[in-house]
Structure 1
């Protein structure tokens, strides 16, 4: 007998981290701002953004970075500051800052290593990774196009 699992044992669907009303609000904003993104995909983006934020908060300073699609979700979440701050406090225990990299900053090990490190961190934190939303990495040198985990020591 063969048993098929929708996701590996021991992982959590990260959309469950986000209040359903907040998920609805964020998905609506994503589809309004990006008409090419369907509602179903917007919901998946919200889930992966939640997983990225949680993993970044658990492992600060690890040079994690979102994909282009997940970055849309993170930026959308940040714009809803009350919801974002509440999420960070409830899930991570502290605020997870958004800190764009400088133009001359490079991802340690390059783009592919950053992608692998980020997906490994999400999986290690116990969250399912939606591989289809991670084909690339965000351009991390412009706030409107990309960013990385925080906090940076300063």
Structure 2
């Protein structure tokens, strides 16, 4: 007899999704590009970015948006294209595209609802959420400042 146990929701530290060497590179990039962020916080940002990317890739048709701090991790990850593509293939099963949000997604009330949908998706995927890194939604209407990940395959 085989018994399949479901992974407990919200208990997996998402930093475990990222190779330790990649985590080190990304954390260094974050602390270099964003003065005032210490190494421990940068590592947490990398973990939350990994959870965000993984959850985004599993939510077809859903627009999920990172927080301002988590967006730093997402952008650092995308700059390391080989590592990013390998992560997407291994964790999500396909490449997760980086797509600027539509201006309509910045209407009053939409960012809060999108934030809640994003956090719910991360928790539903079984990853812990570091709420201290999710207080401010990224401004995702300017390509250089923020974007969301799209599960659309290209």
TM-score scaled to structure 1, two decimals? 0.88
Equivalent in the alignment of 2:133: 133
For residue 106 of structure 1, report the CA deviation from its aligned partner.
1.5
Q: Is 2:64 aligned against 1:67?
A: no
Instruction: Count how many residue pairs are aligned between Structure 1 and Structure 2.
Output: 145
Q: Please list the CA deviations of residues 6-52 of structure 1 after superposition, one character each: whole Å capped at 9, or x if unmatched.
A: xxx54200000000000000000100111210000000000000000
1:3-152 map, 5 Å = 10=9, 11-102=11-102, 104-106=103-105, 110-152=110-152
Residues 67 and 135 of structure 1 are in contact (CA less than 8 Å); yes or no, is this contact kept in structure 2? yes
Q: CA deviation at 1:90?
A: 0.2
The CA distance in 2 between the partners of 1:140 and 1:110, in whole Å, is: 12
1:153 Cα offset (Å) = 8.4
Q: CA deviation at 1:60?
A: 2.6
Alignment RMSD (CA, Å): 1.7
Unpaired stretches in structure 1, ≥5 consecutive residues: 1-8
Q: Is residue 94–residue 153 contact of structure 2 (8 Å, CA) maintained in 1?
A: no
Change (3 A) 1:107 1:92: farther
Contact 2:88 2:94 in 1 (8 A): yes
Give, in whole Å, the separation in 2 of the partners of 1:73 and 1:48.
8
Matches of 1:86 and 1:27 in 2, distance apart? 18
CA deviation after TM superposition for structure 1 residue 105, in Å: 2.8
Structure 2: any 5+ residue segments left out of the alignment?
A: 1-7
* TM-score, normalised by the number of residues in structure 2: 0.88
